[in-house]
Amino acid sequence: MSLRILITGGAGFIGSHLADRLLGEGNSVLAIDNLATGHVRNIEHLAGHERFRFIKHDVTEFIYVEDKIDVVLHLASLPSPVDYLRKPIPTLKVGALGTHKALGLARDKGARFMLASTSEVYGDPLVHPQPETYWGNVNPVGPRGVYDESKRFAEALTMAYHRYHAVDTRIFRIFNTYGPRMRADDGRVVTNFIAQALRGEPITVYDDGQRTRSFCYVSDLVDGIIRLMHSTEVDPVNLGNAAEMTIMEFADTVHRLTGGRSEITHVVPTDERTKDDPQVRQPDITRARKILGWEPQVSLDEGLGRTIEYFRQLFAREAA
């Protein structure tokens, strides 16, 4: 059955990949984005597509849409630590007010609502790996609190709309996802290291590089989101790749895959970017495996290879 799907954050990294996949499966997509961190470059190939439409709009303001909508996929967010340190109030607003508007729209349209939540709801976790049943260890007044608490609020609001307004809801918690169409300047470890390596600049490992992350390629995440959309699962579901590594190991991998021209350096950031930085992060994906029959397919070497190639071409285009 073909669905009419609205994606907030539809010009963003993950939103645009979702749009591609959903259109490819015969659905209609209405993408909404204020282009704060998204970019028209991510959706320009969809211009003129008969089942795709784009509206530039800030979802913290009332969302007016005449179309019938079957599913609201709420991805609008400022998910990069560097962005939310720079723009703490817009981060809180999109997580809180934006989610309120998107839920209100879903309720009005009788649509299913899907919230893009995050592993940051677990904060600097004291349980490892993190199952959905873990309530987290978040510092509400630290620099990351603006993002973490906005997403925790968004989850609470989503469940309240489910319980009190009977909105059919889904919540997925995204763990460090990467791939083409990330922003080169989003300050995250994947883009920083790739951009540095391709420019022949030093790869900046913060502190001793012993913190861990688990990296998921975007096509695997998109697959998990679509499986969840077609499921009946209301409780939160972790979506991520369980292959955990230290940031130092990740730097070595980027170094190797880019031809090893850059040196790897250790940097101690003087701003607040590593304050409350989770020491470890690894999703427990037992539920996603069981409920969705989902398993990440793309290895880090393969996914990073494709991502590096994307940035190689992007930088060549920008230089031309």
Q: What is the DSSP letter of 285?
A: -
Distance of alpha carbon 298 from alpha carbon 113, whole angstroms: 28
Cβ atoms 225, 73 nearer than 8 A: yes
Return the structure tokens found at 199: 């420019």
Which residue among 109, 112, 213, 227 contacts ligand UDP (CB under 6 A)? 213
Q: Is 64 a catalytic residue?
A: no
Of residues 10, 81, 143, 179, which one binds ligand UDP by CB under 6 A? 81
What are the φ/ψ torsions at residue 101 (nearest 5 degrees)?
-65, -45
**Candidates 147, 161, 178, 217; catalytic one:** 147
Min dist CB 86 to ligand UDP, Å, is: 13
Q: Measuring CA to CA, which residue among 98, 26, 13, 89 is closest to residue 59?
A: 98
Q: With binding defined as CB under 6 A, does residue 138 bind ligand UDP?
A: no
Q: Tell which one of 60, 176, 219, 241 touches ligand UDP (CB under 6 A).
A: 176
The 4-43 site mask, x for binding ligand UDP (CB under 6 A), equals ----------------------------------------
Does residue 231 bind ligand UDP (CB under 6 A)? Answer: no
Supply the minimum distance, in Å, between the C-beta of residue 216 and ligand UDP.
12
CB of 277 to ligand UDP, least distance (A): 5
**255 is a contact residue toward ligand UDP (CB under 6 A):** no
Q: Which two tokens stand for residue 246?
A: 């230290």
Q: In sequence order, what are the residues at sequence separation of 6 or more whose Cβ sits closer than 8 angstroms to the Cβ of residue 320?
A: none
CB 189 within 8 A of CB 20: no
CB of 181 to ligand UDP, least distance (A): 16
Q: Do residues 153 and 96 make contact, with C-beta atoms less than 8 angstroms apart? A: yes
- 3-state SS class at 98: helix
Q: Give the full edge-to-edge strand order of the sheet including 237-239.
A: 52-56, 28-33, 4-8, 71-74, 112-118, 169-174, 237-239
- Whose Cβ is closer to ligand UDP: residue 230's or residue 275's? 275
We find the least distance from the C-beta atom of residue 88 to ligand UDP, in angstroms, to be: 15
Q: Which stretch binds ligand UDP (CB under 6 A): 29-37, 166-174, 198-206, 236-244?
A: 198-206
Task: Select from 137, 204, 246, 253 the one that contacts ligand UDP (CB under 6 A).
Answer: 204
Residue type, position 315, single letter: F
Q: Which is nearer to ligand UDP, 93 or 211 (CB)?
A: 211
DSSP 223-252: HHHHHHHTS---S-EEES---EEEHHHHHH
Residues near ligand UDP (CB under 6 A) are 81, 176, 188-189, 192, 204-206, 211, 213, 247, 274, 277
Catalytic residues: 147
